[in-house]
Amino acid sequence: MNRLPLGLIILLVVSILVYFGVAQRLLDRMRLSDKGALVIIGALIAGSFIDIPISRGNIQVAVNVGGALVPVGLAVYLLVKAGTSKEWMRALGATIITGLVIYLAGSVLMKGDPGERYNLIDPLYVYPLVGGIVAYLAGRSRRSAFIAATLGVLSLDVVHWLWLVNNKIPGNVYIGGAGAFDSIVIAGLIAVLLAEVIGETRERLQGGPSSVNRDPDVLQNLQAPESVRHEDDASTTKEAGGRGK
C-alpha cells in the first residue's frame, strides 16, 4: 500500500464525499426519490469498474457502465417520463445543439495548450455550462439540462470514434471510461445545478412558476407530491418550485 501523507488522504476522502454528496442532492432535484438518487450514485460507483467491449480490432471501443450506461439510462428514463412530446423534442434539440457547440468550442476554438487565447475555462466546465444553458433556454427544465449535457458530451466520444475510423488511426475509444468522474457524469450534474439556480432565481423573481397557457398535466406535476403535502401543508408552494420540472 502506498502511504500518502495524512493531509492528502483527508483531502481525497473529503473531495470524494463532497462530490457524491452534492451529486445525490442534484439527482434528487429531478424526477427521482432520495432512495432512487442513492441507488443511482451506487450504480455510478460500482459501474465505474465495468467496461463492456463493443468493438475489437484496430480501433477498440468499450462502454463503461458507470460513466456511460447509467447516466444515459437515466437520461432515457427521464425522456420516457417526460410529460409531453414537446418536452421530448426540446430535450433532443438541446442535445444536438449542445453536442455541436461543445465540439466547436473544444475542437475549433480551443486547442488545449496551456496559456492559449481562448482557454478561459477548462472544457470540463464548458460542457455543463453549454448543456445547462442551451437546455434551459430550450425547455426551462432540469431534466432536459441533464439529458442535453450527458448525451451532448457522449456525442464527443462518438465523434472521436468516427475520427479514428476516418483517419485510419489505431486507437481506443472508452465511452464514459472515467466512470463516475467522467466528463459525461460531471456535465449532467453541473447542468442540473445550473438549471436549478437559473430556474429558481427566475421563478423567485416572477413570484412562482408561470401557469398561463400551460398544459394541465404539467401544472398538475408542478404541484408537490401528495406525500409531501400530507407531511407539511405549509411547504407546498416552496416544494412546487423545487420538485416540479
Partner 1 sequence: MKNKSRLGVLCGCILLMLAGGILYYYENNPRVYNTVAEAGIELNFLDALGKWEGELNDRKYYRFVDETGNMIDQTNHEVFIGDEVILENNNRYKVIRVDSEQYTAVCQLVGQENMAWQEDWGQIPVLSVAENKDKVAVYMTHTDESYVPSDGTESKPGNGGILQVGKKLADTLENRGINTDISWNKHDPHDANAYHRSRKTAVQLLKKNPSALIDVHRDGVPDPNFYKTKVNGKPGTKVRLVVGRQNPHMSANLEFAKKIKSYFDEQSPGLIKGIFMAKGNYNQDLSPRSILIEVGTHTNSRKEAETGVAFFAAGISSLMGAADGAKAPAVSAPAGKTGARSSLLWLLVALVIGGGAFLFITTGSWKGSIEKLSGLGKEFSGNLGPLKGRKKK
Q: Please select the residue that binds partner 1; options are 45, 92, 96, 123, rule is CB under 8 A.
A: 123
Q: Does 166 bind partner 1 (CB under 8 A)?
A: no
Q: Which segment (1-9, 72-80, 89-97, 143-151) binds partner 1 by CB under 8 A? A: 1-9
Q: Please select the residue that binds partner 1; options are 57, 108, 216, 233, rule is CB under 8 A.
A: 108
CB of 84 to partner 1, least distance (A): 15
Q: Does 177 bind partner 1 (CB under 8 A)?
A: yes
Report d(CA 61, CA 55) in Å as an integer. 5
Q: Does 33 bind partner 1 (CB under 8 A)?
A: yes
CB of 54 to partner 1, least distance (A): 15
Pairing mode, if any, of strands 59-64 and 171-175? Answer: parallel
Q: Which residues pair with 61 in a beta bridge?
A: 55, 173
Report d(CA 218, CA 172) in Å as an integer. 44
Residues 185-214 contacting partner 1, CB under 8 A:
193, 196-197, 200-202, 204-207, 210, 212
Q: Does 122 bind partner 1 (CB under 8 A)?
A: yes
Q: Which segment (39-47, 85-93, 140-148, 174-182) binds partner 1 by CB under 8 A? A: 174-182
Long-range (24+ apart) CB contacts under 8 A made by 69-72 are: 69/176, 70/40, 70/43, 70/44, 71/44, 71/150, 71/176, 71/184, 71/185, 71/188, 72/150, 72/151, 72/154
Q: Does 34 bind partner 1 (CB under 8 A)?
A: yes
Q: Does 121 bind partner 1 (CB under 8 A)?
A: yes
Q: Residues binding partner 1: what is the number (CB under 8 A)?
A: 93
Is 192 within 8 Å of 208 (Cβ atoms)? Answer: no
What are the two backbone dihedrals, phi and then psi, of residue 55, each rounded to the nearest 5 degrees? -155, 135
Q: Does 57 bind partner 1 (CB under 8 A)?
A: no
Is 242 within 8 Å of 222 (Cβ atoms)? Answer: no
Report d(CA 180, CA 66) in Å as an integer. 6
CB of 106 to partner 1, least distance (A): 4
Q: Please select the residue that binds partner 1; options are 55, 116, 158, 214, rule is CB under 8 A.
A: 116
Report d(CA 31, CA 27) in Å as an integer. 8
Comparing CB distances to partner 1, the nearer of 84 and 172 is 172
